[in-house]
């Protein structure tokens, strides 16, 4: 039997910002609703309800001297070291993000040159054959970039690809919108390499859907909820939380099942599901519904590792950061290096609305 080319993860890296922001930090915020009226409930009650729904207790913000490309570069350096490769051998650097570099004191996006070009520059890579570009695809951006990397590798166009997910949502969130407590900053990077094998290993299958006719504006940019700031021209990240929740729990399970079906796998074959850390309760509901598609009432304990309670929602960075922590035995209770021939599932949902899923054999 002829060997096939497979996409294998050979290195990971992440940057977790040093500023730890606990829920109590929002007690003095002045929250408004979408019509500009102050919320009637006390902040203590708002924050408690928020924590119950999202399971977020704290999140990480970057320090004032760092921007998205900076932390992407730090994660990239760690991934290159982890993989033990020569950075000049990289065929592609793909950076998933949504807002570019947003500097301290502003919420304006800076995306010229691309963040991938900035990361390549910071790494000091001289090779003009290392193609650097960005991918804005909402929260599923890192996973979609991994899917693109898989196509490059399987086609023979590339042997080594670095995929980075990085974001500083703290600088585009409205402090007068209670949803701002969800958002966090961070960066994660992954090296994928081509490897020949008689049996399928690494990336086995993937599945993506994009729903825009009805759901395009579930996440969007708009003015602050604070009426006093509406004429300043700044825009902030907004979401239709309840509708987004319903969309996610309805469609993400089917997307994951579709991915598993493509590779002839069942949910019983899956060791761990690495899902976008968006909202604790929502992720729980997604997994419950996924197992229900296979007529299973119970979800295996610890099948879904979570970091959202301590790291918040850092958009494209949540999955690669989670992967790095597990890969390097830094998340208590998880050691995927022991799961040889095991199956990982990656899944994400976000602005677009976009959903994707990927199955990976260790």
Q: What sign does the dihedral 315-84-153-337 (CA atoms) show?
A: negative
**Is residue 1 pLDDT above 80, yes or no?**
no
Q: Are 59 and 184 in contact (CB under 8 A)?
A: yes
**Is residue 338 pLDDT above 90, yes or no?**
no
Nearest of 329, 45, 355, 61 to residue 186 by alpha carbon? 61
Q: What mean pLDDT is predicted for residues 193-206?
A: 94
Shared fold status for 4-197 and 202-361 = yes
Question: Which of the four pLDDT bands, split at 50, 70 and 90, describes residue 220?
Answer: very high
Of all residues in the chain, the percent with pLDDT exceeding 90 is 93
Give the mean pLDDT of the chain: 96
* pLDDT tens-digit series, residues 248-286: 999 999 999 999 999 999 999 999 999 999 999 999 999
Q: Are 145 and 348 in contact (CB under 8 A)?
A: no
**Residue partners of 356: CB distance under 8 A and separation at least 6:** 140, 143, 144, 147, 206, 207, 208, 209, 255, 347, 348
Q: Are 346 and 143 in contact (CB under 8 A)?
A: yes
Least confident piece of the model among 163-167, 170-174, 196-200 = 196-200
CA distance 176 to 53: 19
User: What pairing do the DSSP bridges indicate for beta strands 343-350 and 270-275?
Assistant: parallel
pLDDT number for residue 77:
98
* pLDDT tens-digit series, residues 135-149: 999 999 999 999 999
Domain-wise residue ranges, the chain: 4-197, 202-361
Q: How many CB atoms lie within 10 A of CB 293?
A: 13
Q: What sign does the dihedral 250-255-256-260 (CA atoms) show?
A: positive
CA distance 189 to 160: 13
Class of domain 4-197: alpha beta
For 210, counting Cβ atoms within 10 Å of its Cβ (0-12 exposed, 13-18 middle, 19+ buried), the class is middle
* pLDDT tens-digit series, residues 175-190: 999 999 999 999 999 9
Give the angle subtended at the CA of 263 by the CAs of 201 and 161, to the nearest 5°.
45
* Sheet bearing 131-135, strands edge to edge: 4-15, 185-197, 160-168, 92-96, 131-135
Q: What mean pLDDT is predicted for residues 209-223?
A: 95
Query: What size, in residues, is the chain?
Result: 362
Q: Rounded to the nearest 5°, which phi and psi values hold at 187?
A: -150, 145
CA distance 98 to 109: 9
H-run or E-run covering 243 = helix 241-262
Q: Collapsing DSSP states into helix, strand and coil, what is residue 254?
A: helix
Q: Collapsing DSSP states into helix, strand and coil, what is residue 187?
A: strand
Q: What mean pLDDT is predicted for residues 350-355?
A: 96
Q: Collapsing DSSP states into helix, strand and coil, what is residue 238?
A: strand
Domain covering 202-361 in this structure, CATH number: 3.40.47.10
**Residue partners of 126: CB distance under 8 A and separation at least 6:** 88
- Beta strands, E only, the chain: 4-15, 19-22, 58-61, 92-96, 131-135, 160-168, 185-197, 202-210, 219-222, 236-239, 270-275, 343-350, 354-361
**Is residue 333 pLDDT above 90, yes or no?**
no
The DSSP string of 73-116 is HHHHHHHHHHHT--GGG-SEEEEE-SSBB--TT----B-SS-HH
Q: Rounded to the nearest 5°, which phi and psi values hold at 143?
A: -65, -35
Nearest of 206, 240, 349 to residue 287 by alpha carbon? 349
pLDDT number for residue 339:
63
Question: Which of the four pLDDT bands, split at 50, 70 and 90, describes residue 96?
Answer: very high
pLDDT number for residue 92:
98
């Amino acid at each position: 039997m002829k060997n096939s080319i497979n996409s294998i993860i050979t290195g990971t890296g992440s940057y977790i910002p040093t500023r730890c922001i606990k829920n109590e930090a929002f007690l003095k915020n002045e929250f408004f609703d979408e019509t500009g009226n102050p919320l009637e409930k006390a902040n203590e009650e708002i924050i408690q309800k928020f924590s119950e729904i999202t399971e977020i207790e704290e999140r990480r913000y970057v320090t004032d001297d760092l921007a998205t490309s900076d932390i992407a570069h730090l994660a990239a350096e760690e991934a290159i070291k982890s993989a033990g490769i020569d950075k000049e051998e990289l065929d592609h650097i793909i950076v998933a993000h949504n807002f570019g570099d947003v500097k301290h004191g502003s919420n304006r996006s800076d995306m010229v040159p691309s963040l991938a070009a900035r990361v390549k520059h910071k790494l000091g890579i001289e090779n003009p054959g290392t193609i650097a570009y960005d991918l804005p695809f909402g929260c599923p951006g890192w996973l979609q970039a991994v899917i693109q990397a898989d196509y490059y590798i399987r086609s023979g166009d590339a042997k080594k690809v670095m995929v980075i997910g990085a974001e500083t949502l703290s600088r585009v969130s409205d402090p007068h919108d209670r949803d701002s407590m969800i958002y966090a900053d961070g960066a994660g990077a992954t090296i994928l390499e081509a490897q020949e094998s008689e049996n399928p290993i690494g990336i086995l299958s993937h599945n993506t859907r994009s729903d825009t006719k009805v759901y395009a504006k579930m996440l969007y940019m708009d003015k602050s909820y604070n009426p006093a700031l509406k004429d300043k021209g700044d825009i902030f990240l907004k979401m239709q939380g309840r509708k987004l929740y319903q969309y996610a729990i309805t469609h993400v399970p089917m997307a994951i099942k579709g991915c598993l079906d493509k590779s002839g796998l069942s949910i019983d074959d899956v060791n761990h599901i690495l899902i976008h850390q968006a909202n604790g309760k929502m992720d729980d509901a997604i997994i419950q519904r996924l197992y229900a598609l296979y007529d299973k009432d119970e979800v295996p304990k610890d099948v879904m590792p979570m970091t959202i309670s301590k790291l918040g929602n850092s958009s494209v960075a949540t999955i690669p950061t989670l992967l790095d922590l597990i890969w390097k035995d830094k998340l208590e209770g998880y050691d995927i290096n022991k799961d040889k021939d095991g199956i990982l599932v990656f899944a994400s949902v976000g602005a677009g609305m976009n959903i994707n899923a990927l199955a990976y054999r260790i």
